[in-house]
Amino acid sequence: MADIAIKISGLGKRYTIGAREQQYDTLRDRIAAAAARPFRRLAPGGLGASTTIWALQGVTHEIRRGEVVGVIGGNGAGKSTLLKILSRITTPTEGEAEIHGRVGSLLEVGTGFHPDLTGRENIFLNGAILGMRKAEIERKFEEIVRFAEIEEFIDTPVKHYSSGMYVRLGFAVAAQMEPEILIVDEVLAVGDVHFQRKCLGKLDDVARSGRTVLFVSHNMAAIQRLCTSAMLLQHGKLVRVGEVRSTVAAYLGGEARGGFAAAARTGEPQILSADLEDVAGRPLENPVCTEPIVCRIQFTLPHRAPGTRIGIGVLSCDGVPVFTTNNADAGFPCPSGPGDFEARVTIPANTFLAGDFHLALCLWNPGAILDLQEPALSFSVDAGRSPLYTENATRKGYVHVECAWSVTPRVESPAGVLS
């Protein structure tokens, strides 16, 4: 028992959808609802009239001290709800959790930053919000400023910061937390590559220092690099827990295979279905390196939506993005709708090396993601009779790039010839 850091038993959270909408109804509806309220309380089932959703249900798990747990799952799987309950931001509807040690949670970078305050002032404010002592912040102040790389802007109000600076400062403060248990939500989705690498490095240090970490991310490569175990959530339930690699594989491969079909039309812009075929239009059972792969995507735009884009992303078996492409790459706009459409993407022959891949589908406009299916479908590419595999069977990487080569005898060039 002594080495348990977090003990979760039967944790569940139910949200009442109806109650939220009532707030924004008209005054007349509100009065009507108020008149009906005493009767509804008496009715069996109480608030049963409104729709309820279990964002999380029956989650039971024990996390040992020093474990670095990756929490994975699709959108709406309940990952954030779990973290919010464990961070005491919201109460569970059922079940309980026991936490041994102080918890530091980083659900968002720069929580509580005030735009009108300077970087210096916000470091103190944010530090205090994250539970640090003033003396502790003072001691670590220099390190925070150095990590955030904002030395010359430390006395500038953060509203004048670039988004990158803002995020760096937020993470730099949070990185100084020294709780026994660290809870981190998808914070790596922000910032540039340099910053993300720095954050991962910091998380690596935390993980190595023997602290318990709960880490939500869609970045499967990061999950596999940092975590010692993983929890897979689907529709609010814990469906798999254990070794990282197999859990990630279950998440990526388990959702769909070969084809994708949406459960129902929602009335919103939406990807309806997708499948793979060969150039002749036949369903593609066993893609090989030497053949093009055609991805067919049906989508619907119920309303006029100019500027919409449809794209695909190819991920490796361990979740590393390999490449993405969308209709604008080909230089033509997507129809504005309304209507149902079909997009066809041809991935040229000799692109993939042999291996397992996943395909993410995305429908978006410059302002917002309209529909994201990740991963929508999976496929295995065989070496077939590819000349790439004739001499040695192993090649590293995911894709093949046609490169120009020349090998010539080396001639000593006299000094000064180039100048």
Partner 1 sequence: MSVRPSALPVTHIRPGARAMSFTLDEVWHARELLYFLVWRDVKVRYKQTALGIAWSVLQPFLTMVVFTIFFGRLAKVPSDGVPYPLFSLAALVPWTYFATAASNGSSSLVGNQHLLAKVYFPRILVPLAAVLMPAVDLAVSFGMLIVLMAWYHVAPTAAIVALPLYVALGILTAFAVTLWTSALSVRYRDARYVLPFVIQIWLFISPVAYPASMVPERWRLLYSLNPMVTVVEGFRSSLLGTPGPGSTAAIAMVVVAAALAAGAAYFRSVEGSIVDLA
Interface residues toward partner 1, by CB under 8 A: 2-3, 15, 19-20, 23, 65, 84-103, 105, 107-108, 111-112, 114, 116-117, 121, 124-125, 128-131, 133-134, 157, 180, 209-210
Q: In angstroms, what is the minimal distance from the CB of 372 to partner 1? A: 23
Q: Rounded distance, CA 338 to CA 300, Å?
A: 8
Q: Rounded distance, CA 59 to CA 223, Å?
A: 20
Q: In angstroms, what is the minimal distance from the CB of 87 to partner 1? A: 5
| Three-point CA angle 255, 256, 259, nearest 5° | 160
Residue 50 or 380: the one with the smaller Cβ distance to partner 1 is 50
Q: In angstroms, what is the minimal distance from the CB of 231 to partner 1? A: 17
**Spatial contact of 216 and 186, defined as CB atoms under 8 Å apart:** yes
Q: What is the enclosing helix (H) or strand (E) of 16?
A: strand 4-16
**Spatial contact of 256 and 375, defined as CB atoms under 8 Å apart:** yes
Q: Rounded distance, CA 230 to CA 72, Å?
A: 7
Q: In angstroms, what is the minimal distance from the CB of 89 to partner 1? A: 5
Q: In angstroms, what is the minimal distance from the CB of 65 to partner 1? A: 8
Q: Find tokens 């944010």 and name the residue.
A: 126
Residue 15 or 364: the one with the smaller Cβ distance to partner 1 is 15
Q: In angstroms, what is the minimal distance from the CB of 46 to partner 1? A: 15
Strand-pair category, 212-216 with 68-72: parallel
Q: Rounded distance, CA 360 to CA 373, Å?
A: 6
Beta bridge partners of 116: none
Q: In angstroms, what is the minimal distance from the CB of 365 to partner 1? A: 26
**Spatial contact of 55 and 83, defined as CB atoms under 8 Å apart:** no
Give me the sign of the Cα torsion angle 111, 112, 114, 119.
negative
CA dist 188 → 194, 222, 261, 328 (Å):
11, 9, 30, 27
Q: Rounded distance, CA 142 to CA 155, Å?
A: 14
Question: Whose CA is closest to 214, among 190, 180, 238?
Answer: 180
Q: Which residues contact residue 152 at a Cβ distance below 8 angstroms, ignoring those fewer than 6 apart?
A: none
Q: Rounded distance, CA 344 to CA 196, Å?
A: 33
Question: Whose CA is closest to 240, among 255, 227, 250?
Answer: 250
Q: In angstroms, what is the minimal distance from the CB of 103 to partner 1? A: 7
Residue 93 or 229: the one with the smaller Cβ distance to partner 1 is 93
Q: Which residues contact residue 304 at a Cβ distance below 8 angstroms, ignoring those fewer than 6 apart?
A: 336, 337, 338
Residue 20 or 194: the one with the smaller Cβ distance to partner 1 is 20
Give me the sign of the Cα torsion angle 122, 123, 126, 129.
negative
What SS3 state is found at 336?
A: coil
Residue 15 or 341: the one with the smaller Cβ distance to partner 1 is 15
Q: In angstroms, what is the minimal distance from the CB of 214 to partner 1? A: 14
Q: In angstroms, what is the minimal distance from the CB of 263 to partner 1? A: 27
Residue 97 or 169: the one with the smaller Cβ distance to partner 1 is 97
Residue 111 or 326: the one with the smaller Cβ distance to partner 1 is 111
Residue 120 or 395: the one with the smaller Cβ distance to partner 1 is 120
